Amino acid sequence: MCGICGCSQPGKINKLQPVNGQVHQHDHGHRHHDHETERLVKVEQDLLSKNNAYAEQNRTYFQQHHIFTLNLVSSPGAGKTTLLVETIKVLKDRFPIAVIEGDQQTEHDADRIRATGVPALQINTGRACHLDAHGIGHALQALGIKDHSFLAIENVGNLVCPSSFDLGEAHKVVVLSVTEGDDKPLKYPDMFHAADLMIINKTDLLPYVDFDVQRCINFARQVNPDIQIIQLSSTKGDNFSAWTDWLAGNVKMEA
Amino acid sequence: MTNLPGADLHLPEGCRAGTAMHELSLLENVREILENHAVSQKFSKVTKVTLEIGKLSSIEPDALRFGFDVVMKDSLAENAELIISDIAGLGICRQCGLEVELETSHDPCSHCGSPKVKVIQGADMKIKDLIVI
Q: Is the pLDDT of residue A18 over 70?
A: no
∠ CA B106-B108-B109 to the nearest 5 degrees?
130
- What percent of chain A stands above pLDDT 70? 86
Query: Is B12 within the bounds of a domain?
Result: no
Report CB contact under 8 Å: A43, B11: no
| CATH code at position B92 | 3.30.2320.80
| Count of the separate structural domains present in chain A | 2
Mean local confidence (pLDDT), B36-63: 94
- What value does the mean pLDDT of chain A take? 87
- Distance, in Å, from the CA atom of B130 to the CA atom of A255, rounded to the nearest integer, reads 47
Residue B93 assigned ligand-binding role:
yes
Least confident of A112-116, A142-146, B88-92: A142-146
- Distance, in Å, from the CA atom of B130 to the CA atom of B111, rounded to the nearest integer, reads 39
Q: Is the pLDDT of residue B46 over 80?
A: yes
A22 DSSP assignment: B
Q: Name which residue leads in pLDDT, A19 or B104.
A: B104
Q: Is the pLDDT of residue B112 over 70?
A: yes
Report CB contact under 8 Å: A121, B104: no
Query: Is B27 within the bounds of a domain?
Result: yes
Residue B96 assigned ligand-binding role:
yes
Mean local confidence (pLDDT), A172-193: 96
| CATH code at position A198 | 3.40.50.300
Residue of chain B whose Cα is closest to the Cα of A40: B131
The string of pLDDT tens digits covering residues A65-124 is 999 999 999 999 999 999 999 999 999 999 999 999 999 899 999 999 999 999 999 999
- Whether B23 and B63 have beta carbons less than 8 Å apart is answered as yes
| Count of the separate structural domains present in chain B | 1
Same domain, A71 and A159: yes
Q: Assign A182 a pLDDT band (cuts: 50, 70, 90).
A: very high
